[in-house]
Amino acid sequence: MGIRRSAHAVYDTKYHLVWTPKYRKWVQRQDIRKRVREIFSDIAVHHGFEIQELRVAPDHVHILLSFPPRYSIAHVVGVLKSITASEIFDEFPEIKKELWGGEFWEDGYFV
């Protein structure tokens, strides 16, 4: 990561984001953790985010991320969490049955 440019800004942002899956239900599913990593990478490419580090641990996610200042932190986290949840539920429908509230991620996050 380094200095990046957009149409109206020059920036060097780095955000350390952490959040957990709902009820920590997929902690033992390596296939789901692998797929979550792939989806995060796809989202980053599509939205112009730059992932410096990504760790999908058994009970939480760590991302060191850079993104243009036109996006708020809440927006970026919302995009990452909502797209991964939708795609995981589509690809692994049995997961939705295991989650009581039908949500994949916990509501909050650390930045």
All domains of the chain in start order, with CATH: 4-98 (3.30.70.1290)
pTM (whole model) above 0.85: yes
What is the mean predicted confidence (pLDDT) over 46-63? Answer: 92
Residue of 110 and 102 predicted with greater confidence: 110
CA-derived radius of gyration, the chain: 14
Tens of pLDDT, residues 59-97: 899 999 999 888 999 999 999 999 999 999 999 888 877
Position 101 scores a pLDDT of 72
Per the CB < 8 A criterion, the answer to whether 110 and 52 are in contact is no
